[in-house]
C-alpha cells in the first residue's frame, strides 16, 4: 500500500511537474513570440525613420542644388553686355565730384553721355572697346579671348565689394577705353575686421597721356577707398613714379620692403 501511495504521489507530482513545465514552456513561447513581434515592429519603425531621413536628405540636396543654381544664375551673374563690375553711381557721390570737370580742357564726368570722355565702372562689353589693348600698353596680357575675358569679369563681379575697376571711355572720334585703374578691397580679421585697399593696373592710352587722366584715375581710386571704409590703401610702383604717386598722399614706408616671388613672366 505504501508503495502504491508513493507511486501514486510520484505520478501526481510528475503530472503536476508536467503541467507546470507545459505552462512554463507556454509562457516562454509567448514571451519569445512577443519579443519577435516587438523586434519586428522596432525594425519596421527604424526602417520608416530611415526612409524618412533619406527622403529628407534628398529634399535638402534638391533645395541646396536649387539654391546654388539661383546664386550662380542670379542677377550678379548677369550676362548682359551692359553689366557693370560695380555700380557707377557710387562715383557720383564721392566728395570731390565737383572737381571732375576741372581737369584741363578735358570734359569728363561720371556716366554723362554728352561728354566726350566718361568716367565709369568697367563693363562686360568693354572687351569690344579695346580694353585689353589698353592693358597691353602697361604690361604683358597674353592672348585673352572674349570668352576668357567674360568669364573673369563674371567671376570678379560675383565677388561683390572686392573689385572696382574704373575706366575712362572715349566717345569721340571713336568709342574705346583710354584709361583704367583697379581698386582691390581686401577683407581682414585684424583691426576689428577692417578693410584694406590696393590700387593696381593704372594705365592711360598713349594717345591721351599728358592730359591729367592718370591723375583723375588715381584721385578717384584713392577717394573711393576711403569712402568704402578702408583703414589704409597702398600701391607698388617703379622708382621713377614715386614722385607722381606722392601727389595723392602715398609715401614710401621706411623699414618696409616690397618683396615677391614670380612664378611666370
Q: Tell me the C-alpha distance between 131 and 154, whole Å.
A: 16
Could you list the residue range(s) of the whole structural domain that residue 24 is in? 1-73
Output the furthest CA–CA distance in the chain (Å, rounded): 146
For residue 173, give the nearest of 212, 134, 116, 119 by alpha carbon.
116
pLDDT at 150: 97
Can you spell out the DSSP letters for 43-64? HHHHHHHHHHHHHHHHHHHHHH
pLDDT at 95: 73
Start-to-end Cα distance in the chain? 123
Residue 226 and residue 114 in one domain: yes
13 domain-assigned: yes
Residue 200 and residue 239 in one domain: yes
Q: Tell me the C-alpha distance between 185 and 228, whole Å.
A: 9
Residue that terminates a domain, selected from 27, 56, 73:
73
Task: State pLDDT tens for residues 193-250.
Answer: 999 999 999 999 999 999 999 999 999 999 999 999 999 999 999 999 999 999 999 9
pLDDT for 19 beyond 80: no
Task: State pLDDT tens for residues 116-171.
Answer: 899 999 999 999 999 999 999 999 999 999 999 999 999 999 999 999 999 999 99
* CB within 8 Å of 187: residues ≥ 6 apart: 162, 193, 195
Residue 113 and residue 56 in one domain: no
Residue 51 and residue 123 in one domain: no
Residue 100 and residue 121 in one domain: yes
Task: State pLDDT tens for residues 176-193.
Answer: 999 999 999 999 999 999
Residue 129 and residue 155 in one domain: yes
Residue 58 and residue 119 in one domain: no
Residue 230 and residue 144 in one domain: yes
- Residue 253: is the preceding peptide bond cis (ω within 30°)? no
pLDDT at 189: 99
CB count in 10 Å sphere of residue 195 = 18
pLDDT at 33: 53
* CB within 8 Å of 20: residues ≥ 6 apart: none
Task: State pLDDT tens for residues 73-125.
Answer: 433 445 687 899 999 999 988 876 444 445 444 455 555 555 689 999 999 99
Q: State pTM to two decimals.
A: 0.67
Residue 14 and residue 144 in one domain: no
pLDDT at 69: 39
Q: Which grid cell sits at 172?
A: 569721340
Task: State pLDDT tens for residues 32-85.
Answer: 555 555 555 565 556 566 566 556 556 545 554 444 333 334 334 456 878 999
Residue 98 and residue 213 in one domain: yes
Amino acid at each position: 500500500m505504501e508503495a502504491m501511495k508513493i507511486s501514486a504521489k510520484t505520478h501526481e507530482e510528475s503530472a503536476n511537474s508536467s503541467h507546470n513545465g507545459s505552462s512554463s514552456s507556454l509562457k516562454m513561447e509567448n514571451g519569445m513570440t512577443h519579443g519577435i513581434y516587438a523586434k519586428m515592429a522596432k525594425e519596421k519603425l527604424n526602417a520608416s525613420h530611415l526612409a524618412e531621413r533619406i527622403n529628407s536628405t534628398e529634399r535638402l540636396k534638391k533645395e541646396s542644388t536649387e539654391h546654388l543654381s539661383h546664386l550662380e544664375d542670379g542677377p550678379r551673374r548677369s550676362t548682359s553686355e551692359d553689366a557693370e563690375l560695380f555700380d557707377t553711381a557710387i562715383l557720383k557721390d564721392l566728395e570731390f565730384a565737383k572737381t571732375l570737370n576741372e581737369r584741363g580742357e578735358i570734359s569728363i564726368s561720371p556716366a554723362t553721355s554728352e561728354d566726350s570722355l566718361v568716367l565709369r565702372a568697367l563693363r562686360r562689353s568693354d572687351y569690344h572697346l579695346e580694353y585689353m589693348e589698353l592693358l597691353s600698353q602697361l604690361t604683358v596680357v597674353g592672348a585673352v579671348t572674349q570668352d576668357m575675358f567674360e568669364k573673369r569679369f563674371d567671376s570678379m563681379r560675383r565677388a561683390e565689394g572686392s573689385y572696382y575697376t574704373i575706366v575712362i571711355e572715349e566717345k569721340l572720334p571713336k568709342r574705346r577705353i583710354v584709361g583704367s585703374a583697379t581698386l582691390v578691397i581686401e577683407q581682414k580679421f585684424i583691426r576689428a575686421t577692417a578693410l584694406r585697399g590696393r590700387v593696381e593696373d593704372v594705365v592711360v592710352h598713349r594717345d591721351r597721356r599728358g592730359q591729367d587722366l592718370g591723375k583723375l584715375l588715381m584721385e578717384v581710386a584713392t577717394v573711393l577707398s576711403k569712402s568704402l571704409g578702408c583703414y589704409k590703401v597702398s600701391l607698388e610702383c617703379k622708382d621713377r613714379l614715386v614722385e607722381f604717386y606722392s601727389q595723392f598722399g602715398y609715401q614710401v614706408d621706411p623699414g618696409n620692403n616690397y618683396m615677391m616671388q614670380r612664378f611666370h613672366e
